[in-house]
Structure 1
């Protein structure tokens, strides 16, 4: 009976394990989107108008759920302008779903010197005019009625709409216009050519948000060479492809840019993405070596606890990566600091860098933060992470102190390559130039002691010494740091290592692991991301 019971238990365990594996793999596959939406212009960079072009033809329309609804297709190789429409129009005639009848009517109106154009709001109509007020449109409609006879004219009140100015001008009543190229490539503003579609999204109180919607794998064709040199080893490029794919998938599932209608940006706020080509076609945004790495790792992502991770990475760790809580304030079990000698030895400007600021420059830097603490006397790292990155930096001045908190603030305020500050060297320490406060007749001002001239006991005038004697209420005394003279350094030099926030994979480290240690992309990823699974969703297995 015990054997039978154990047998049943064994069967139960097998079925439970199988069900768990199937559920996990099904969930993971379900979370890998086929497409990704990249924000190109949004917020303060949103546009009122844009120009689009393809060597093929562009079809303009919109999505009804997941179904693309085509409205109008332009001519082959034609440039067109997309522009927001906040105007009043005069409705001349409606033609249901018959686009050609609308175009015929527009040609007829030309004979009457009336400039008509298409409007689509579920049906095709012909309208005229771009008026800023209803009163202006009503007045124009009254005059136009005399030209067109007894035709009944009505004024179309502005809604969210977008103009397309191609071989035909039309306004489409939609808040999200889609421009779909027939050949899969579309250029924006004579600059960047993108794969996939361009979306023009009208949001409340804004210009148009511009979004590139394209297959996830094609997006990675540009991200990988934008983030890592394509001449680097294939295994490093593969590691970059998997990290970038994982980051993209994680952000598709939970995006801070959802309110704008896209998943990721095209810059380092998410991942660098240059499109298929840029500079009006002068420069390639893709590279065959990087494309090879993306294709070789198709469907492979990093998971932790069954979920695709936000696989952060940076350029150069400075010899030790960083834990996420010391940079982004949230702990992640898979983003823990690890020693990283593999990043070192490639470029001296990242292994060991220096940044020097004069007194005037430092005052300007602090003034940009709305901070005035007088002359800068010292800058000290007062708290470091276990990896060696500065977490708190205290700046002491003649008027007070100011403390910078956190890796990002320290790095950004002082414009450092990283917060791995090894030392802060000072030029002009004690024994150098001092400062004294004197009256100039109306105000008390600070002066360099070596810029002061004094009347000496022998009635001659000469330059003051570093620590002059003064007569005070208590008698004759020599000034020192405790009673009036303080040394004001001429400059401060930050000495450090690394580039970027240091969390997750170091790109130079990935190169080093591939070149120096002979590791493959799976080894590289498992080294930098603690406790993760490298998961192949296409073949339903861990690597």
Structure 2
């Protein structure tokens, strides 16, 4: 009897415990109740939910904004809770969408006896991402790889698979790395991209005109299922194979294009105003040695003219007016295309000549385009579009004297072609509808007429481009070396102002004479090297192989006083002022720098180029960093007396007056003081002309005289690189 009673008691205890456990499991804990209350308020847009949030949570938190504005969550269920610290719980909830569910965490903490939401689920909004279905997971939840600019993100898709359009740019919202919203962007096939402006937030298409964009448009190329990120606004101008993807408001958000080295219609060159070297023209007059046409493609207008007739385009109230012999023929806000017939050449006339019968420029191959400036309707932008090889016909003789001979000109053709191809992907001139301009800012174009030997050099190297691996090389070139070239990273900073920058394996410091010497970063070694006037250097035929200039203290003070503030304003990270004993900081240069007390080269590159210069005056100590800045600050120009120019003495005995910049940074400084220690004169002795990186043009000439072929010269200046023909194979 006692045994029966004991067993009954035991069974009762078990039943009671089971009931209590069930009640405990069914009845939510305080942290769960806090999350449940919050989600109840959230789904009904009840603002009382803010009372459940800790104060540090912003009322504009992306999770709250998503829930209120798009209301993607239809229901919820508390899944579990777990203590993660004393008085802190992580509560996981299932949020139900219209189709599918996501699991999200909430962090809840107890403060003064009450439970508050401490952290909300994370939300990421991509205005344009490219989804790629991975199909690795079983069931309905599928992994999706998102391409967002240069980044890739693997996320989960709880939505039905047919909601994802594979490889189609889409607006996507993730909550805790799970897709809750996806909207495929609308494709707009572009006929030809003529201009692209990040600042102006538009792309100009030949047929569609200007299309508004978000500004920072990522560009991709897709081959099969392989996606390659090209960059922001990269390589768009001149493209005829692109698709712009727009949101519901018609704003362009991303572009997919074919990955090709060269646009179908060739290179686009910005033609500068010869009067002030500016971008804009107040008006433009054009003639041709054959019949020619002027037309617009949008709201089409077309006129044909006879050879020798002169047309003029001017801004007017309706856009750009077209005139013939002073008579207005038409006006349009759209881009004008001027095209020659039967292989003719167009010429731009000097608007200030009393007679316009003669051209003020060398005739242009290809097409001239005239467009209104984006920010100034009183100015015109002129672009010349022509084939890459024809472009090189006048670049090569403009950049290198034809007396250097065929082999040297071939090397120049390869370097210039390589440079131009890299410019196709640059954003620099895209707002103007061009890849390059016609000045030294890019490559000098059409300043010298086509020369038979230069045309031959281009034709015999047709399509040859320098490659390092599978990338077109950065084919830097300059006039003259001092007998040693410089490392790329010891001349230029990167886009984040890091200096020295990242090394480029084929743009390296190396001797330019048939011997070898120690590195020239040591001051004593460098001085001894520059003092070798009879060095058997490949560049010895250049007048700038060796040079020297002497300036009075006050003359150099005046040059520094003028140029140091200018350089500091343009590159503030590289002109510093000493603060205290050793710290250098960015600071405005004083209006009066005081009396010059010392000049010291504090750092040289492997090839001997000045990298840092300290200037000590009675009003401060200033550090100038990078070779171009140093050359500009030490400009050998007399700003005190224009009748007494500073004289630069060259290797060939010639003298240059008031040279606009120190020829190179391969130089040393001698200071001459009086008996009291005051500076009287400064002599700067150096060698070379230009930045000193890559191919030396005079060195190329010297090597060609020694019997080197253009292939050997190319390998000498760009070691480890290969020549490939871009018109053959996959290029």
Q: TM-score, normalised by structure 1?
A: 0.65
> Is 1:72 matched up with 2:303?
yes
> How much has 1:253 moved relative to structure 2?
2.3
Conserved? CA contact 1:535–1:541, under 8 Å: no
Conserved? CA contact 1:245–1:301, under 8 Å: yes
2:314 corresponding residue in structure 1: 83
Among 303, 318, 321, the alignment partner of 1:163 is 321
Provide the C-alpha distance between the structure 2 equivalents of 1:299 and 1:318, rounded to a whole number of angstroms.
31
SS class of match (1:351): coil
> How much has 1:324 moved relative to structure 2?
1.5
> How much has 1:339 moved relative to structure 2?
1.7
Conserved? CA contact 1:37–1:211, under 8 Å: yes
Greater Rg over alpha carbons, structure = 2
| Matched ranges for 1:475-486 at <5 A | none
Conserved? CA contact 2:418–2:466, under 8 Å: yes
2:386 corresponding residue in structure 1: 214
SS class of match (2:320): strand
Moved more, 490-499 or 325-334: 325-334
SS class of match (2:629): helix
Conserved? CA contact 2:663–2:689, under 8 Å: yes
| Matched ranges for 1:379-418 at <5 A | 379-414=599-634, 415-418=661-664
Among 260, 285, 288, the alignment partner of 1:30 is 260
1:60 corresponding residue in structure 2: 294
Conserved? CA contact 2:272–2:438, under 8 Å: no
> How much has 1:38 moved relative to structure 2?
0.9
Provide the C-alpha distance between the structure 1 equivalents of 2:360 and 2:680, rounded to a whole number of angstroms.
45
Provide the C-alpha distance between the structure 1 equivalents of 2:616 and 2:385, rounded to a whole number of angstroms.
50
> How much has 1:522 moved relative to structure 2?
1.2
Provide the C-alpha distance between the structure 1 equivalents of 2:338 and 2:399, rounded to a whole number of angstroms.
28
Conserved? CA contact 1:199–1:212, under 8 Å: yes
Provide the C-alpha distance between the structure 2 equivalents of 1:298 and 1:30, rounded to a whole number of angstroms.
17
Among 204, 217, 235, the alignment partner of 2:374 is 204
> Is 1:195 matched up with 2:365?
yes
| Matched ranges for 1:190-339 at <5 A | 190-192=359-361, 193-206=363-376, 207-274=379-446, 284-330=448-494, 331=502, 332-339=504-511
Q: Deviations over 1:33-66 (max 9, x none)?
A: 45111111279440121111112223111356xx
Structure showing the higher helix proportion among its residues: 1
Q: CA 1:204–1:30 in structure 2 vs 1: closer, same or farther (change >3 Å)?
A: closer
Provide the C-alpha distance between the structure 2 equivalents of 1:76 and 1:390, rounded to a whole number of angstroms.
55
Conserved? CA contact 2:271–2:383, under 8 Å: yes
2:713 corresponding residue in structure 1: 524
Q: TM-score, normalised by structure 2?
A: 0.49
2:722 corresponding residue in structure 1: 533
Q: Deviations over 1:412-447 (max 9, x none)?
A: 2222101001x21223x141xx4xxxxxxxxxxxxx
> How much has 1:270 moved relative to structure 2?
0.8
Provide the C-alpha distance between the structure 2 equivalents of 1:344 and 1:47, rounded to a whole number of angstroms.
40
Among 597, 601, 610, the alignment partner of 1:377 is 597
Aligned residue pairs, count: 376
| Alignment RMSD (CA, Å) | 2.6
Among 665, 668, 679, the alignment partner of 1:419 is 665
Q: Deviations over 1:68-105 (max 9, x none)?
A: 966111233111211112x2xxxxxxxxxxxxxxxxxx
2:346 corresponding residue in structure 1: 186
Q: CA 1:219–1:496 in structure 2 vs 1: closer, same or farther (change >3 Å)?
A: same
> Is 1:364 matched up with 2:536?
no
Provide the C-alpha distance between the structure 1 equivalents of 2:258 and 2:333, rounded to a whole number of angstroms.
34
| Runs (5+) with no aligned partner, structure 2 | 1-256, 350-358, 495-501, 514-536, 566-588, 635-660
Q: CA 1:172–1:343 in structure 2 vs 1: closer, same or farther (change >3 Å)?
A: farther
Conserved? CA contact 1:224–1:237, under 8 Å: yes
| Runs (5+) with no aligned partner, structure 1 | 1-26, 88-157, 276-283, 435-486
